[in-house]
Amino acid sequence: MNILVKKIIQKVNEMVSEKEVMDSLKTVLDPEIGINIVDLGLIYGIEIREKSVKVKMTLTMPGCPMSEYLVESAKNAVSKIAGLEKIEIDLVFDPPWNPEKISAEAKKSLGF
């Protein structure tokens, strides 16, 4: 195997995956509802570029009193992934969140 191929394989192995990011975000619970932010449908997208991650997330309502806590908790959870140098949480409200975005498993635990 030549050196270039070895470097490419090493680079791919060092890259963070979307699954890793989603798994880390699943550790963040909405303190009022008790369900993680992924299953609540608050994560709208993840962009990974080498050693940086940008997470687009929303809240159950724009005036949520826990907004700072949730954003900071999401950033802290993702920062535990080895190899990342930059983490950005982009709080968006379009499209607006609605209960249809909740995962089937979370709906079941909430009694929907």
C-alpha Rg value of the chain to the nearest Å: 16
Q: Is residue 35 part of a domain?
A: yes
Q: Is residue 111 part of a domain?
A: no
Q: Is residue 34 part of a domain?
A: yes
Q: Is residue 3 part of a domain?
A: no
User: For residues 77 and 21, what is the distance between their CA atoms, to the nearest angstrom?
Assistant: 8
Q: Could you tell me the residue range of the domain that residue 47 belongs to?
A: 21-106
User: What's the total number of domains in the chain?
Assistant: 1
CATH classification of the domain holding 92 = 3.30.300.130
pLDDT band at 1 (very low <50, low <70, confident <90, very high): low
Q: Is the pLDDT of residue 48 over 90?
A: yes
- Region 34-38: mean pLDDT is 96
User: For residues 87 and 50, what is the distance between their CA atoms, to the nearest angstrom?
Assistant: 11
